[in-house]
C-alpha cells in the first residue's frame, strides 16, 4: 500500500484549497451529510456522481493531483458534513471514468474517494471506527483531517 505518497498528495490538495477564495464557500442554503458513504463500501464513481447529480459539488474538479485524485469544491450554498464536521473539499477518482480527469502519474488505485474535514484526526478515527470503516485518516493540520477510501 502506498499510503505515505498518497497522503502527501492529499496535503497538496488541501493546500490548494486553502489558497482558494473563501467566497466560494459561502453561507449555506442547505446541509448534507456524507458519513455513511465513508464506510468504504462504495467506489469513486458512485460517491462523486451522486454528489454531482444532487448539485452538492461542482461539476469540474478544481484540482487534479499527479496520482489522479480529483478535488471538488462543494457547490455554492451547500454545506457538506461528515460526522457533523464541515467538509472542506471532496476527493474522488475511478480508472477510465469520464467524470475524472487523469493525472500525469500513476493513479492512486483503481478507485478512491473521500473528503477533507475540519476536525481532529483522533476524533475522525473514533467516528470511522464506530461505523466499521477502514478509511485512511491523515492529519493535514491539527484541526484539518483527510479521510480516504480506496480500492485494495
- 74 by DSSP, 3-state: which? strand
Q: Residue 136's pLDDT is what?
A: 96
pLDDT tens column, 24-49: 444 445 578 999 999 999 999 999 99
Helical H segments across 20-54, by residue range: 44-53
Q: Rounded distance, CA 115 to CA 17, Å?
A: 12
Closest CA to 53 of 117, 102, 99, 101: 99
DSSP string over 7-36: HHHHHHHHHHHHHS-GGGG-S-SEEEE-GG
pLDDT of 1 reads: 40
For residue 115, what pLDDT is reported?
98
Task: Quickly state the pLDDT bin for 7 (edges 50, 70, 90).
Answer: low
**Quick one: average pLDDT of 84-110?**
96
Only one residue has cell 499527479, namely 66
Q: What distance in Å separates the CA atoms of residue 83 and residue 129, rounded to the nearest whole number? A: 12
pTM higher than the cut 0.95:
no
Amino acid at each position: 500500500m502506498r499510503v505515505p505518497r498518497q497522503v502527501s498528495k492529499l496535503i497538496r490538495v488541501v493546500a490548494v484549497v486553502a489558497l482558494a477564495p473563501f467566497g466560494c464557500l459561502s453561507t449555506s442554503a442547505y446541509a448534507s451529510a456524507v458519513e455513511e458513504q465513508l464506510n468504504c463500501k462504495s467506489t469513486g464513481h458512485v460517491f462523486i456522481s451522486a454528489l454531482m447529480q444532487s448539485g452538492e459539488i461542482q461539476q469540474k474538479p478544481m484540482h487534479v493531483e499527479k496520482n489522479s485524485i480529483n478535488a471538488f469544491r462543494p457547490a455554492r450554498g451547500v454545506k457538506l458534513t461528515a460526522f457533523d464536521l464541515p467538509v472542506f473539499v471532496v476527493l474522488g477518482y475511478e480508472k477510465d471514468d469520464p467524470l475524472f480527469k487523469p493525472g500525469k502519474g500513476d493513479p492512486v488505485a483503481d478507485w478512491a474517494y473521500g473528503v477533507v474535514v475540519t476536525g481532529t484526526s483522533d476524533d475522525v478515527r473514533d467516528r470511522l471506527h464506530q461505523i466499521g470503516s477502514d478509511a485512511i485518516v491523515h492529519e493535514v493540520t491539527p484541526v484539518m483531517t483527510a479521510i480516504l477510501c480506496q480500492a485494495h
